[in-house]
Structure 1
Amino acid sequence: MKRILLLFTFLLSFAQMRADEGMWLLMLVKRLNGVDMQKEGLHLTPEEIYSVNNSSLKDAIVSFGGFCTGEIVSSQGLIFTNHHCGYGAVAAASTPEKDYLKNGFWAMKQKDEFNAKDLYVRFLVRMDDATQRINSKLNNSMTGEQRKAVIDAETKAIQSENSENGKYTVVVRDFFNGNEFYYFVYQDYKDIRLVGAPPSSLGKFGGDTDNWEWPRHTADFTVFRVYADAAGNPAEFAPTNIPLKPKHFLPVSLKGVKPGDFSMILGYPGRTNRYLTSFGIEQMVNKDYPAWVEASKQAMDIMKKYMDKDKGTQLNYASQYASVANYWKNRQGTIDAVEKNGTITDKKKLEQTFQTWADSYNLGEYSSVLDDIRIYYQQTSDRNVERNYMSQFSRNSKYISLALQVGSVLKAYAAQDMNGRLAMKTKVEAALKAAYENFNTQLEGEMLSGMTKLYQLRVKKDVAGATILGIDAGQISNIAYSSIFATKTSATNFMLHPDALKLDADPLWKIANGIVADQKLSAERFSKVDDNFAKNNRMFLAGLMKAMPEKKFYPDANSTMRLTYGTVDKLPIREDRNYFGVTDNYYTDMAGLVGKYKKNDDEFDLPQRVIDLYNLKDFGQYADAAGYMPVNFLSNNDITGGNSGSPVIDADGNLIGIAFDGNSEALSGDIVFEQQWQKTINVDVRFVLWTIDKYAGARRLIDELQLVRGENTPADTKTKMPKATSAKGKRK
């Protein structure tokens, strides 16, 4: 009787799952969620969200650089995304004389828009199901290597069948821990130009202090534009290219938001692990993430030491520092949230119920799965810690990655005869220029030494790489400084006088290659247990899906386009927070922005013009009906990293905000959806427009948008505007 009761409780908990949980594949929306979304208030049909043959919302959403999301907001290819997504491009364009990060940038004419180097955007053309095709050739008796060979062969065939001779990029992804497969056909555009960016004092207002916290008061947005050739096709940057005319763009709403309003987010969430077991979570929060936090904090301290000394270094390392700091706080916040929210206890209850189901029905193939997963984490615990220290070592010690990158080019160059070297010279020079462009020798020497010492101190000897263990951490920076790869000058000198034997003898080159070899050996050492773990993970989730055939399962995020829907929502008021007069806790306003202002503070300074406009209450048509100037708002949409810059869309398909953050109470959200606490923090699009128009004076961009007004707009700003056009061209 106890087993039956446990099973009933388990099923009931999923039956009561609310609509705001889940990151849904677009082609499955009609079958799984179309009716539910319309009950929540959506006025669009599934075909208006995702269609292959007609324009739809998906055609206005782009993967921005492969690490964020953006949305097309005009018929001229204008893109909105987050400030922190465009941060690297803005930093790369900045110089100590023209500091666009600090002062902002606005192209007052189209000719002023300039190329964002190495940036691209990706449009989803279509997706399709390859599950039956691939699974029909797989079985659980295969080794990991055999399984990979089958999947790779089918992937190659699918890519060949759908790329149209290179016109499209085709990506095959596995879902549900490898139980299902889908492929995605994309079109990439590489001529992306920076159009506008607020100063960091607005775009990063609150800095690390406010990051992952509510209330927020941040103008986290930047503006770019997609360019194409005259026929609308992707093209490399060229002065003759023209703004792209997209298949669909999002009208921009001035109606405002209130609790309960339908909200939908489309974007490219990076990675979640919602079906991770309690054993995996315990490993994560007790060992893996503490290692990540410690290593990333050390890297941040070293970068900041040199960034504070030199403006050029500050600009060159700004993007890297911001990225490391963001994940540093995220990882620590995840540890805290898991402990506070009882996540591990909840997972253990789920696993007990799963075990009861498997045992009750004598399903021997599933009965030992959880025990095998538990044993795996015991076997690999120290190795997993090593991986986390190694990931930060590799990410932040640029001398190692530089030696591998530049060394492979120089090795190939040295192996050529005179004619071959002449043919390669331009390529080598370009590689050297790119590798050393933002490189601070002293910073990187100290980083290499510091990360080596930390690895040697924290990683257990039986899983550590022999190469790093054998390094004299006190001398490694001097080894780097005496290497061929020490500076651009030393690498260029080698290019002028190439000597393959000298390269092979270079100590930094040996160390870099030794680290790669050690990581390969570690992978081989643990390959069998990793293969068995992957199999058990597949079986665990397959078992859950069989146990609950009535449940609508959603796949973990894996950088493919997803849809999440819910409503504008509130958080409880916290006594330890200042809300600056806001009592209905779903939005913030400019009173709070100015209330946080601290002159000359790194995190809470503001341009004087913002303060002046606030004092004049010069909000124009962007003020809320209640008279305040909105800044940020909350919704209960389910997002994660990669969703940064995603559009928040209302029931009619209009843009109401740009997603940019989550809240600290639910930083465990990548492994479990915290129903009560999990929120998305969004820039209110009215604040975006106010910043562009009133603060920056870039009115030409406002004129380019299709604005939608409604009953929430102050009466004195109502004007006759064309009605919004839906994805299929119908008038709303």
Structure 2
Amino acid sequence: MKKLILFLTAFVLVTPVRADEGMWFLMFIERLNHRDMQKMGLQLTAEEIYSINHHSLKDAVVQFNGGCTAELISKDGLVLTNHHCGYDAIAELSSPQANYLHDGYWAKDKAGELKPKSLFVRFFVRMDDVSKRILGKVNDKMTEAEREKAINQEIAAIEKENSEGGKYTVSVRSFFQGNEYYYFVYQDYKDVRFVGTPPESIGKFGGDTDNWEWPRHTGDFSMFRIYADKEGNPADYSENNVPLHPKKYLKISLKGVQENDFAMILGYPGRTNRWMPSGGIEQNVKFAYPAWVEASKLGMDRMKVYMDKDTKVRLDYASKYAQVANYWKNRQGMIDALTKHKTAATKAAGEAKFDKWANSTPKNKEKYGTVVTTLKNYYAKTNEKARHDNYLTGLFRTSNMAMLPTRMNKTLSAFAKADAAKRAEMQPELEKAIAETYEKLYIPLEKDVLAAELNLYVTKSAGYAVAPKAADVVKADSKAWIEKAFASSIFGSKESLMAWLKNPSAEALQNDPLTVLSLDLSTHFNNKSEELQKLTDDYSRAFRLLVEGLRESNPKTKYYPDANSTMRLTYGKVRSLPADKRNDAAKNYYTTLQGVVNKYKPNDEEFDLPKRLIEMNKTKDFGRYADKAGYMPVNFLTDNDITGGNSGSPVMNGKGELIGLAFDGNIEAMAGDVIFDHQLQRTINVDIRYVLWVIDKFAGAKHIVDEMTIVK
């Protein structure tokens, strides 16, 4: 493996950002990126990518259920995203008798499309810069609390002004650590129905073993459809709703990909920390991430015991388990990559250069002279808290019962104190919420996970004061205490909580053992001492000044802001990694169906395959979806700059045609959220030809492919 060449984005930006790095705002494509993209193979104008006056590519890309990306691929609102993005909805709609998650599903017609309880897509309408307006409300004499209050007041005004009376969702977001502000206007559609998915043995092939690994052989896709009222407006679910006719949808290319082909991605990357100081990296590697990994693994292991014994439990916890497992491997990969390549030390060297510049003139010193010292002080004094917080969030992440009483406490308290008329009004919704919550809870699992995570949290957070009630529980023997608590708690079962509704008592709720534990955990987690608040305020100001100073000291560089779930464009090329003996492909930028079959392990949870797929590969029954070289393509690599939230993003060629679906990154460059590696950082994509082959040839759902506009 070639040695990583680390490019220090935040601190030594003395050369222009390379084409494959950067998550760019669409409104600045013409000024910052269009010429570079044309040189690489783009054949569209900037206006065809982003326009507020005409239909453009951004109208064909949506945020999917708040955490992923999806794209429209037909005139009737057909939406394509990852299998793991649709996982929660598919699991919800599944049952042991109709297990769509395991067996797959394809609606035979629109009447067969299924509505999950809660699923939405968000269209991006427009954005604009409001930095001057917002920053004009603050000054250097303000405390951080005063600054935050003034900014939030102005944000509220901007959001109200642009919502058009509630028609749009408006979000003002901070960029460059509070040095710039932009507002984003969105329109949400909430009637989104499940159209189809391949069986889990295709959609999740490779499981946790192959997650974040290359070569990949996964058909990570699922399909949904957006519905609207007869005028095309957002509407709650109704049988009278009709498929949405979108402003724009993507054509699909069967031409395939070759190395060095242009590739661009539009999507909603969740979070990067490219400007993070060295102390933050060191804190994550040595304190925060190890706690995250250990707590996640413990919760996964305890869940798995029960999931393996019961199909319903497996379905009910499938989404939670998958989410925990994904980030468990991600965080361990981050620890390994950041440690191996000494990223913190590299950034510290950049900080030293900045500190020298910051103290080089009286003017610089007055504004920036103490920035680096303040940041170092903050991390030194919060390392143990970071470890503590990650063990505690591991408890919250894996145990439903750790937070359920806290989430319901305010509503239940109001119910207990209400008069008879108000209770009668509140009770139907409460009963519905309780029934839906407990339908997906398996109490023996919940007891086990809660006890195990409490023990881990208390014993491993010795360097920081733990929640008092948690300490008492562990001291008293957590398993025995939890058994007793569940037996007496109103939250111990659906029946006990429903019984409390019939005879509500504020005193019983206040003294309930699981409520007392849950509130103590959440209160402890959110509590900030005066010392910690002062440290946090000083840190916020110093970090803001650091980013401002770095940009001031290198004014000719093109900068892009960290990802924060707003739409971005990234562009690059189809690009190989060094040859890998695990890949049967001729070049290491793609994988084939034969490679899938080579990994086949009968009855294995991660590597089993449908017999039909094996037979179709044997007879090379690939139809028009085969590559011209004769193989059936599965996944391919590009060097686009993406992160979590980009899952499901469309990968497009220079004409804006769909060639693939982004779904993962490679573990060799797992430090990518902090520092971009030009040599090894890759995006792993499902080849659109494999998607269509699975739908058409394997599943026999040609009517769905017939909706699409396909070009060769």
TM-score with structure 2 setting the length? 0.96
Instruction: Give the match's secondary structure for 1:398.
Output: coil
CA distance in 1, matches of 2:264, 2:257: 13
Q: CA deviation at 1:44?
A: 0.7
Question: How do 1:561-710 and structure 2 match up within 5 A?
Answer: 561-574=567-580, 577-580=581-584, 582-709=585-712
Aligned to 2:519: 513
Quick one: structure 1 residues 352 and 202, their matched pair in 2 at CA, closer, same or farther if it must change by over 3 Å? same
CA distance in 2, matches of 1:463, 1:27: 47
Instruction: Give the match's secondary structure for 2:97.
Output: coil
Aligned to 1:545: 551
Aligned to 1:443: 445
Aligned to 1:429: 431
Confirm or deny: 8 A CA contact 2:79 2:224 kept in the other structure. yes
Aligned to 1:556: 562
Confirm or deny: 8 A CA contact 1:289 1:332 kept in the other structure. yes
Deviates most, 159-168 or 499-508: 499-508
CA distance in 1, matches of 2:64, 2:487: 37
Q: CA deviation at 1:172?
A: 0.9
Aligned to 2:539: 533
Question: How do 1:138-149 and structure 2 match up within 5 A?
Answer: 138-149=138-149
Read off the aligned partner of 2:256 and give its amino acid letter. G
CA distance in 1, matches of 2:234, 2:10: 50
Q: CA deviation at 1:676?
A: 0.6
CA distance in 2, matches of 1:525, 1:371: 17
Quick one: structure 1 residues 10 and 417, their matched pair in 2 at CA, closer, same or farther if it must change by over 3 Å? closer
Question: Does residue 522 in structure 1 map to residue 528 in structure 2?
Answer: yes
Confirm or deny: 8 A CA contact 1:441 1:487 kept in the other structure. yes
Instruction: Give the match's secondary structure for 1:689.
Output: helix
Question: How do 1:270-419 and structure 2 match up within 5 A?
Answer: 270-362=270-362, 363-364=364-365, 365-419=367-421
Question: How do 1:114-263 and structure 2 match up within 5 A?
Answer: 114-263=114-263
Q: CA deviation at 1:14?
A: 3.7
Confirm or deny: 8 A CA contact 2:601 2:607 kept in the other structure. yes
Aligned to 2:482: 477
Q: CA deviation at 1:511?
A: 1.8
Q: Deviations over 1:474-518 (max 9, x none)?
A: 334221332001111100011112222222221211222222322
Q: CA deviation at 1:355?
A: 2.2
Quick one: structure 1 residues 414 and 22, their matched pair in 2 at CA, closer, same or farther if it must change by over 3 Å? same
Read off the aligned partner of 1:305 and give its amino acid letter. V
Q: CA deviation at 1:466?
A: 2.4
Deviates most, 430-439 or 62-71: 430-439
Q: CA deviation at 1:108?
A: 1.3
Confirm or deny: 8 A CA contact 1:406 1:432 kept in the other structure. no
Q: Deviations over 1:565-590 (max 9, x none)?
A: 0011110014xx4112x231100011
Confirm or deny: 8 A CA contact 1:140 1:535 kept in the other structure. no
Q: CA deviation at 1:525?
A: 4.9
Question: How do 1:492-507 and structure 2 match up within 5 A?
Answer: 492-507=498-513
Q: CA deviation at 1:305?
A: 0.8
Read off the aligned partner of 2:622 and give its amino acid letter. F
Q: Deviations over 1:156-176 (max 9, x none)?
A: 101110111111001111000
Confirm or deny: 8 A CA contact 1:68 1:268 kept in the other structure. yes
Q: CA deviation at 1:370?
A: 1.0
TM-score with structure 1 setting the length? 0.93
Quick one: structure 1 residues 496 and 649, their matched pair in 2 at CA, closer, same or farther if it must change by over 3 Å? same
Confirm or deny: 8 A CA contact 2:490 2:512 kept in the other structure. yes
- Structure 1 stretches of 4+ with a deviation exceeding 6 A read 9-12
Deviates most, 193-202 or 408-417: 408-417
Q: CA deviation at 1:388?
A: 0.8
- Structure 1 portions without partners, runs of 5+: 1-8, 710-732
Q: CA deviation at 1:524?
A: 5.5
Read off the aligned partner of 1:29 and give its amino acid letter. I
Confirm or deny: 8 A CA contact 2:389 2:525 kept in the other structure. no
Question: Does residue 38 in structure 1 map to residue 42 in structure 2?
Answer: no
CA distance in 2, matches of 1:466, 1:23: 44
Aligned to 1:61: 61
Deviates most, 632-641 or 275-284: 275-284
Aligned to 2:4: none
Identity of aligned residues (%): 51
CA distance in 2, matches of 1:342, 1:144: 33
Q: CA deviation at 1:279?
A: 1.2
Confirm or deny: 8 A CA contact 2:176 2:562 kept in the other structure. yes
Aligned residues: 698
Q: CA deviation at 1:430?
A: 1.2
CA distance in 2, matches of 1:535, 1:556: 18
Confirm or deny: 8 A CA contact 1:597 1:605 kept in the other structure. yes
Aligned to 1:5: none
| Partner of residue 464 from structure 1, selected from 434, 451, 466 | 466
Q: CA deviation at 1:462?
A: 4.0
Q: CA deviation at 1:341?
A: 2.7
Confirm or deny: 8 A CA contact 2:12 2:350 kept in the other structure. no
Instruction: Give the match's secondary structure for 2:673.
Output: coil
Q: Deviations over 1:683-730 (max 9, x none)?
A: 000000000000111111111001010xxxxxxxxxxxxxxxxxxxxx
CA distance in 2, matches of 1:524, 1:11: 31
CA distance in 2, matches of 1:38, 1:11: 29
CA distance in 1, matches of 2:675, 2:696: 40
Instruction: Give the match's secondary structure for 2:63.
Output: strand
Instruction: Give the match's secondary structure for 1:193.
Output: strand
Read off the aligned partner of 1:451 and give its amino acid letter. E
Quick one: structure 1 residues 532 and 13, their matched pair in 2 at CA, closer, same or farther if it must change by over 3 Å? closer
- Structure 2 portions without partners, runs of 5+: 1-8
Q: CA deviation at 1:16?
A: 4.8
Quick one: structure 1 residues 47 and 481, their matched pair in 2 at CA, closer, same or farther if it must change by over 3 Å? farther
CA distance in 2, matches of 1:100, 1:80: 17
Instruction: Give the match's secondary structure for 1:178.
Output: coil
Instruction: Give the match's secondary structure for 1:526.
Output: helix
Q: CA deviation at 1:11?
A: 9.6
CA distance in 2, matches of 1:302, 1:476: 18
Instruction: Give the match's secondary structure for 2:671.
Output: coil
RMSD: 1.5
Read off the aligned partner of 1:538 and give its amino acid letter. R
Read off the aligned partner of 2:650 and give its amino acid letter. P
Q: CA deviation at 1:461?
A: 5.6
Confirm or deny: 8 A CA contact 1:467 1:518 kept in the other structure. no
Aligned to 2:5: none
